[in-house]
Structure 1
Amino acid sequence: MASQSFNSTLCHFVFAVAIILNIFAPALGSDQTSGLSMNVIDKCWRMNSEWRRHRPQLATCSVGYAGKMTDNIGKDLVHYKVTDPSDDPINPKPGTLRYGASIIQSRVWITFQRDMHIKLLKPLLVSSFTAIDGRGINVHISHNACLMIYKSTNIIIHGIRIHHCKAQPAGMVMGPEGKVIQVGQVDGDAIRLVSASNVWIDHNTLYDCQDGLLDVTRGSTNVTISNNWFRNQDKVMLLGHDDGYDRDKNMKVTVVYNHFGPNCNQRMPRIRFGYAHVANNLYQGWMQYAIGGSMGPSLKSEANLFIAPTSGNKEVTWRKESNGNMGKWEFHSVGDVFENGACFTATKGGRVPTPYYNSQQIFKVADAKYVRALTRSSGALRCSKTSRC
C-alpha cells in the first residue's frame, strides 16, 4: 500500500508525546495545566447564558479556513423563523425551511419555532449568506432528500440532526438564487458542497445516509467542519470530487473537534488533490481506514486521538496510487496520540505542510491529551430553555 516515498509503518501501544509546532497566537482561554473543558469555538458563545438573544454572535466564533463568518451578519440581517415542517420544492410556502434558505435573497439567520422533523421532497439548495441555526431546538432533516450547498458562499449549518438521507432522481427545485432550476441525480449525502466557498458546518449530528455524510466537491474551498458527530456510516467525508477534477487542487478544509464513531468504516476524510488540516478530532475506531485519498493530497494530522478497533486494521491511513501521483503525497502526523495499537504511515522527509491561516482563520491546536474533553459535546447540542448549552 505504501511506496518507496513513505516510511515503514510505525505502530505503537503507548501515547505519543504531543508536539505542538503551531505558532498560532490566540490562546484557548484556559490554563493548560488545569485541563481544558471547552474548545475555542464553544468558549466563544456557550459561556453566555443570553446566547438566544444574541444568536448572530455565533458568526464571530468560527476558526479554520471558513474564517470569521461576519459577512453573514449586519444591519440588514433578516431573522427568519421556521414554523412549518412541510416542503414544496418548487413553490415553498412562507414559514418553511426551503422558503428561508432559497427564496430570501439577503443575509438571513434561520431559526426554528419548535422541535420538528423535516422531510425534504428534493434537495434543499441553500442561498449565499444564510445561517441555519438549530440551537435550543431538536430539528431532524431525514428519511429523504437532504442539503446541497450549490455555487453559494458564506453558509453556516449549525445544530441540525441529518440522517437517513436517500438518493434522489433528477428534477426541478427552487435554486439558491430564488429561481427554479434543474438538479441532477443525487446519491444520498447528508450535506454536499458543490462549487461552494466559505462554509462552516458546526455541531451537527450526521448518520445512516445512503451514500456519505459530507462531500466537499467541484472546486469548493475555505471550509471548516467542526464539533460534529459522525457515526454509523460506511463513507463518512469526501474532500475532492474525483480523480479527474483537478480544480480541487485549490481546496482547503479544516476538520477540527469532531467525533468520528462508533461504527464508521472509512473516509474520515478521504482527500483528493487539495489540503486538509485535521486537528483535535476523536477517532473511535474504523474498519477499512480513518484518513486516506488519492491524487497527491496534502494533510497535516495534528494532535488527534486515534483509537484503533479491537480487531482488524490498526493503520490510520490509506493511499490509492493514481496516474503516478503516489510520490507527491504529503501525509504528516504531528502530536497525534495512538491507542489500542493504532499507527500512521507518514510521508518520508520533507517539510510538514502548514495551513498558512490568516488572522481571521487562526487558532491554537490543543495538546492531544485534551481531545476527549474538547470533543465531549460534539454533535447537535441539547440546550435547556433557561441556561447555557
Structure 2
Amino acid sequence: MVSQGTNFIIWRFVLAIVIVIFFTPKLSSAKQSKLMGMKMNTIDSCWRIIDSCWRPNPEWRRHRQQLATCSVGYVGKMTNNIGNDLIHYKVTDPNDDPTNPKPGTLRYGASVIQSKVWITFEKDMNIQLMKPLLISSFTTIDGRGVNVHIANNACLMISKATDIIIHSIRIHHCKAQAPGMVMGPNGKVIHIGPVDGDAIRLVTASKIWIDHNTIYECEDGLLDVTRGSTNVTISNNWFREQDKVMLLGHDDGYVRDKNMKVTVVYNHFGPNCNQRMPRIRYGYAHVANNLYFGWMQYAIGGSMRPSLKSEANLFIAPKVGSKEVTWRKIGNTSGDKWKFHSVRDAFENGAYFTVTKGGRVPKPNYRKEQGFKVVDVKFVRSLTRSAGALQCSRTSIYVKKKHRK
C-alpha cells in the first residue's frame, strides 16, 4: 500500500513537471512542441504556447493577441491589429440584424465598431446571417476555445478593407443573396448588389489572413480573392465537399489582378473537392506544404498567364477521374507564356503536374517579415494535421474530426 506521504511526493513531482512545461519562459515554442511529442508548422508553433485549447492557465485570454505576430507569407505580420488602442469585443448574441445590429452580435463588432477590434465569442454559437457580413478594417474574428458556425444563409465579405484576421470559424452552406441594404464596413448602411453564395469573398481588399477555418458545401465557391485584392495568406484551413474551392482573380478581363499576390500554405483540400485549389488569373501564387486529398477535374489551374510556384505539396490523385494536377485555359494566349512550376512536390496514386517548359521558377520574393521555411514534403501530413477550425481536447490541442460537420 502506498503511504499518504508517498502520494504527496508523487503529486509534487508531477506538479513540478507541469510547471516546467507550461510556465517556463526559457522554453521556445519548438522545444515545447518536442516535449509534447507533436510536429507543428511554423504558424502553429509560434502561438501554441498560449493556445486556449490546452493551457490550464486561467490567464490565457490575456495573451490571445500573440496570434497577430505569427502570420507568414504575403500578408506579413498582423501587428496593425494589436496595440494599446485595441478594443476587446465579445459576441454574446447569435442573432443578426443586417441594418441595425445590436451590441453583442457579430455584425455590431465586425461592421459598426470603427477601430482596432478583437472579436471573441462567449460560447458555442450557430450564427445565421441575414445578409453578407461586411468586415471593417483592423478586425480580428477569433473563434478559438469555442465552436462557432456561420452557416445556412449569407456569409462573409471583405470589401475595400485591410488588416483582417479570420481564425478558427466553421463556415458552410452559404447561399446566394439578392441585392439589399446592409451595414457597411464603414459603420453606415449601404446598398449591395447580389452575391453568389461564397463562404468568404475578398473585393479590393489587402493584408488579409484566413487561418484555421473549416469551410465547405457552399452554393458558389469557398473563397474568392478578386478585383485587385492582394497581400493575402490562406493557411491551415480545411476545404472539403465543394465543386469550386478557391478563385484568385476576378475574371479574364480584370487586368488589375496582375498585381495580386497570395500565399496558400498548410491547408488540407478534400475529400470531395472538384477544382480550383486554387484557380488563378494574372497574379502570383505561392502554394506550399499543402495536402491535396483527391480532385475530380483538377487541383491547380488558371488563365491569363498567371505565375505559380507549387512547392513541397503532397498531391494524392483520386482513384477515378483526372490524375493531372494542373489545368490551363487555352484562349488567345499561349500556355507556354504561363509560369506553372513544381518544386519538391510529391505525387501519389498516379498524380502528375504539367510544368511550364523552359524559363526560371518564379520566386515569391518575400520580405523578411513575410518569409518562412518550406519544409520537406514528407512532413506535409503532420504539418496539416491540425488544419481547420481547432478542436479542443483534454489530451491534445489538435483533434481533427474528418467527418464532423
Q: CA RMSD, aligned part only?
A: 2.0
Unpaired stretches in structure 1, ≥5 consecutive residues: 1-26
Check conservation: 1:284, 1:308, Cα contact below 8 A. Answer: yes
* Aligned partner of 1:208 among 217, 232, 250: 217
- SS state at 1:356 partner: coil
Amino acid at match of 1:37: K
Aligned position for 2:290: 281
Alpha-carbon distance in structure 1 between the residues aligned to 2:99 and 2:106: 13
Matched, 1:39 2:48: no
Q: How does 1:281-360 map to 2 (within 5 A)?
A: 281-360=290-369
Shift of 1:359: 1.1
Matched, 1:165 2:167: no
Aligned position for 1:105: 114
Check conservation: 2:336, 2:357, Cα contact below 8 A. Answer: no
Alpha-carbon distance in structure 1 between the residues aligned to 2:141 and 2:286: 25
Q: How does 1:68-217 map to 2 (within 5 A)?
A: 68-217=77-226
* Aligned partner of 1:56 among 54, 65, 70: 65
Check conservation: 1:243, 1:322, Cα contact below 8 A. Answer: no
Alpha-carbon distance in structure 1 between the residues aligned to 2:127 and 2:270: 25
Alpha-carbon distance in structure 2 between the residues aligned to 1:312 and 1:57: 43
Deviations 1:107-141 (A, max 9, x none): 00000000000000000000000000000110000
Shift of 1:333: 0.1
Q: How does 1:1-40 map to 2 (within 5 A)?
A: 29=30, 37-40=39-42
Check conservation: 2:236, 2:384, Cα contact below 8 A. Answer: yes
Aligned position for 2:373: 364
Amino acid at match of 1:38: M
Check conservation: 2:179, 2:193, Cα contact below 8 A. Answer: yes
Check conservation: 2:314, 2:377, Cα contact below 8 A. Answer: yes
Check conservation: 1:160, 1:204, Cα contact below 8 A. Answer: yes
Alpha-carbon distance in structure 1 between the residues aligned to 2:396 and 2:346: 35
Alpha-carbon distance in structure 1 between the residues aligned to 2:215 and 2:224: 12
* Aligned partner of 2:229 among 217, 220, 238: 220
Alpha-carbon distance in structure 2 between the residues aligned to 1:251 and 1:36: 35
Aligned position for 2:7: none
Structure with the higher helix share, 1 or 2: 2
Alpha-carbon distance in structure 2 between the residues aligned to 1:367 and 1:311: 28
Deviations 1:83-104 (A, max 9, x none): 0000000000000000000000
Shift of 1:53: 2.6
In the superposition, the TM-score normalised over structure 2's length comes to: 0.87
Shift of 1:312: 1.7
Alpha-carbon distance in structure 1 between the residues aligned to 2:247 and 2:330: 17
Number of residues paired by the alignment? Answer: 362
Matched, 1:271 2:280: yes
Tell me: higher relative CO, structure 1 or 2? Use CA pairs within 8 A at least 6 residues apart: 1
Flag the 1:378–1:336 CA change in 2: closer, same or farther, 3 A: same
In the superposition, the TM-score normalised over structure 1's length comes to: 0.90
Unpaired stretches in structure 2, ≥5 consecutive residues: 1-27, 399-405
- SS state at 1:148 partner: strand
Flag the 1:234–1:28 CA change in 2: closer, same or farther, 3 A: farther
Deviations 1:199-229 (A, max 9, x none): 0000000000000000000000000000000
* Aligned partner of 2:76 among 60, 67, 71: 67
Alpha-carbon distance in structure 1 between the residues aligned to 2:206 and 2:40: 27
Flag the 1:325–1:106 CA change in 2: closer, same or farther, 3 A: farther
Aligned position for 2:268: 259
Check conservation: 2:391, 2:397, Cα contact below 8 A. Answer: no
Flag the 1:283–1:388 CA change in 2: closer, same or farther, 3 A: closer
Alpha-carbon distance in structure 2 between the residues aligned to 1:44 and 1:385: 21
Alpha-carbon distance in structure 2 between the residues aligned to 1:276 and 1:57: 27
- SS state at 1:323 partner: coil
Check conservation: 1:271, 1:292, Cα contact below 8 A. Answer: yes
Alpha-carbon distance in structure 2 between the residues aligned to 1:125 and 1:271: 24
Deviations 1:343-375 (A, max 9, x none): 000001111000000011000001000000000
Q: Which portions of structure 1, spanning 4 or more consecutive aligned residues, are displaced by more than 4 angstroms?
A: 27-30, 33-36, 384-389
Check conservation: 1:28, 1:364, Cα contact below 8 A. Answer: no
Amino acid at match of 1:67: G
- SS state at 1:214 partner: strand
Alpha-carbon distance in structure 2 between the residues aligned to 1:249 and 1:68: 23
Check conservation: 2:336, 2:356, Cα contact below 8 A. Answer: no
Check conservation: 2:268, 2:291, Cα contact below 8 A. Answer: yes
Shift of 1:36: 7.2
Aligned position for 1:5: none
- SS state at 1:343 partner: coil
Amino acid at match of 2:308: L
Alpha-carbon distance in structure 1 between the residues aligned to 2:222 and 2:105: 24
- SS state at 1:52 partner: helix
Alpha-carbon distance in structure 2 between the residues aligned to 1:308 and 1:247: 34
Flag the 1:335–1:161 CA change in 2: closer, same or farther, 3 A: same
